[in-house]
Structure 1
Amino acid sequence: MQSDSFLMRALVSGTVSGLATSAVAALAGKRETASYAAPINATSHILWGDKAARHDDTSLKYTATGFLLNHLAAVMWAAVYERWATPAISRWAATLPLLAPLAPAMSGVAVAGGAYVTDYYLVPKRFTPGYEKRLSGQSLALIYGALALGLAAGALLENRGRE
């Protein structure tokens, strides 16, 4: 039952985070490239190469693949969040009750920071998210901020359902 609970929490947090990061990327894409799809398409460069990063129009090949890859990555980071943050949040509630309400967000920021370092400094260039091919550094910061908030929001939604 514990693994089911962990998997369900990771799926919820990852889905919220995936939707949040995709929405922020699409809005940034519209602002910076005049295309909602461009940054989502760029994510599919992992499978389709740099041609995907140059594609502006919505397409099943690039946009759907990019969205799915982003969603899978968000669920993976949510699993990291849930495995690491859930026990940490419980410890904070017990030892630092005044900071406990901030624990989900602070944990989300920590995991999103780890995701950024991993995505842009540890993995080969072919496996970066691809957003950097179409968006500014400011937009990347907003996307990782959306990841952090999505992780925290997903955790809070799950907690609300258990109360």
Structure 2
Amino acid sequence: MDKTRVIALAMASGWWSGLLSAAALMLASRLSGDGVPTGLNGPSHWFFGERAAHAQRFSIRHTVVGTMTHQASSFFWASIFATLRTRRSALDHGDARIAAEAAAVTAVAAAVDLLVAPRRLTPGFERRLTAWPLAGVYVAFAVGLAAAALRERRHDLMARACSSPHSPHPPASPRCPAPRR
């Protein structure tokens, strides 16, 4: 396993999954009749107590800490996903398999977040969202994981095609990506 590939995929999938699920949290909060930052305030409850999970307005205290906590959690789960994706047997999996692996890691994350973790360590936003909006947040998370892995796979496939002696594009072609180190 190439550690640089694991780190690169963990960073990319962590950013995408965190950003997409944060956007879904804000949308779900608004559609549920709460303030837009309510869902992002929720994760700060581990530090500031139960009132933070119900805070409705933007604040440095709740929104920034909650967003940072949410993003850190995204990087944690993305690192597990990246480790699974970069093992030798997973490198040639197709798009459907990548999406299924993203969904599986997300399902485990949701189970741990909502069923296993002590109440103080749950995401906090589950206290304000009903089942469907909550599921939408986790779907957005899975989409972020899959999008990063699919982008990496496309890059690798193009690099392989360009390095082939039968490639229609010479290696110096703008269509050929630079090789990964």
Q: TM-score, normalised by structure 2?
A: 0.81
Corresponding residue for residue 97 of structure 1: none
Corresponding residue for residue 89 of structure 1: 90
Q: Quote the offset at 1:7 in angstroms.
A: 1.1
Q: Quote the offset at 1:160 in angstroms.
A: 3.6
Corresponding residue for residue 17 of structure 2: 17
**Equivalents in 2 of 1:107, 1:16: separation in Å?**
16
Alignment partner for residue 140 of structure 1, among 134, 155, 174? 134
Quickly say closer, same or farther: Cα 1:90–1:4, change in 2 above 3 A: closer
Q: Structure with the greater relative contact order (CA < 8 A, sep ≥ 6): 1 or 2?
A: 1
Asked which structure has the greater CA Rg, the reply is 2
Tell me how many residue pairs correspond in the alignment.
156
More helix by share: 1
Runs of 5+ unmatched residues, structure 1? 94-99
Corresponding residue for residue 36 of structure 1: 36
Q: What amino acid sits opposite 1:146 in the alignment?
A: A
Runs of 5+ unmatched residues, structure 2? 159-181
Q: TM-score, normalised by structure 1?
A: 0.89
**Equivalents in 1 of 2:23, 2:95: separation in Å?**
26
Runs of 4+ in 1 over 2 A off after TM superposition: 85-91, 157-163
The Cα offsets for residues 18-40 of structure 1, whole Å up to 9 and x where unpaired, read as 00000000000001033110111
| Secondary structure of residue in 2 paired with 1:44 | helix
1:151 aligns with 2:145: yes
| Secondary structure of residue in 2 paired with 1:33 | coil
Equivalent pairs: percent with the same residue? 31
